[in-house]
Structure formats: structure tokens, C-alpha cells
């Protein structure tokens, strides 16, 4: 159910093939969720400026049912920023991360919602 979406102006050939797998492991660990439920998508080659500069930059969205909040998001931000900086070379001051704490009824899976799967827990 967690989804990390990373949009960047980096060309696709600058995104290592294993980046999405590494990112899956990072968000699974940070969120305390099974990697089997995590999704990572990267949208490269976007015309993008950050602070008026087209130097490498990104915007990320992390959606999860729970495991997000004031304290938790600090840890998630650090983990995601470190990964993006180390693997993609995008400085952590050239990326924003938007956190979305979705309700269980707001995420569908297998033709039902997570609310149906977990009974509103």
C-alpha cells in the first residue's frame, strides 16, 4: 500500500536499474511495512526547475496508510533524502517530499479496499 513516487528532471539513463528495488527496501524499513506491499515509481526526464534552476532536482510523494506523522515523517524524509542524494546525486536541498496519510478506505487492492481487508483497523 505505501507508494513512493519520485519525479525528476534527471534523464532515464541516470536512474540505476536497481533504484526502485533499493527505494522499496528503504521505504519498507522506514515505514515498518512489508516490502511486498510497497510500490516505487520514478518519472524521469521532466522539464523541471527548483528555485529557478534546472540543475538536478526532484519532487517525491510518499503515500501510506498510517506510519506517517510529525515524528515519523522526519525519519522518512531523512531516509528518502539520503537514498536520492547518494544514488541519484540530487542534493537534499533540491527535493521536496509530500507525505499523504491515506485512510484504509481510500486505498483499493484486489477489488476491495484495505478497510475491507483489515476491518477498519
Count, residues in the chain = 121
Question: pTM of this prediction?
Answer: 0.95
Q: What is the pLDDT of residues 9-22, one digit of tens each?
A: 999 999 999 999 99
Is residue 44 annotated as a catalytic residue, yes or no?
A: no
Catalytic residue among 2, 11, 16, 44: 2
Query: Residue 41 and residue 36: Cα distance in Å, rounded?
Result: 15
Q: What is the CA radius of gyration of the chain?
A: 15
* pLDDT cut 70: percent of the chain above it: 98
pLDDT at 27: 98
- The CATH architecture annotation of domain 3-118 reads 2-Layer Sandwich (3.30)
- Name the region of 97 (left: φ>0; alpha: ψ -120 to 50; beta: rest): beta
Q: Which residues of the chain have pLDDT under 70?
A: 120-121
Q: What is the pLDDT of residues 66-82, one digit of tens each?
A: 999 999 999 999 999 99
Query: Are 2 and 62 within 8 A, CB to CB?
Result: yes
Q: What is residue 53's three-state secondary structure?
A: strand
pLDDT at 34: 97
Amino acid at each position: 500500500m505505501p507508494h513512493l513516487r519520485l519525479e525528476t528532471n534527471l534523464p532515464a539513463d541516470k536512474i540505476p536499474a536497481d533504484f526502485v528495488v533499493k527505494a522499496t527496501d528503504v521505504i519498507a524499513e522506514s515505514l515498518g511495512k512489508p516490502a511486498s506491499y510497497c510500490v516505487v515509481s520514478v518519472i524521469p526526464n521532466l522539464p523541471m526547475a527548483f528555485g529557478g534552476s534546472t540543475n538536478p532536482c526532484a519532487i517525491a510523494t510518499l503515500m501510506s496508510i498510517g506510519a506517517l506523522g510529525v515524528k515519523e515523517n522526519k525519519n522518512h524524509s531523512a531516509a528518502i533524502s539520503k537514498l536520492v542524494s547518494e544514488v541519484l546525486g540530487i542534493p537534499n536541498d533540491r527535493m521536496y517530499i509530500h507525505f499523504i496519510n491515506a485512510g484504509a478506505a481510500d486505498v483499493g487492492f484486489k477489488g476491495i479496499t484495505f478497510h475491507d481487508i483489515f476491518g477498519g483497523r
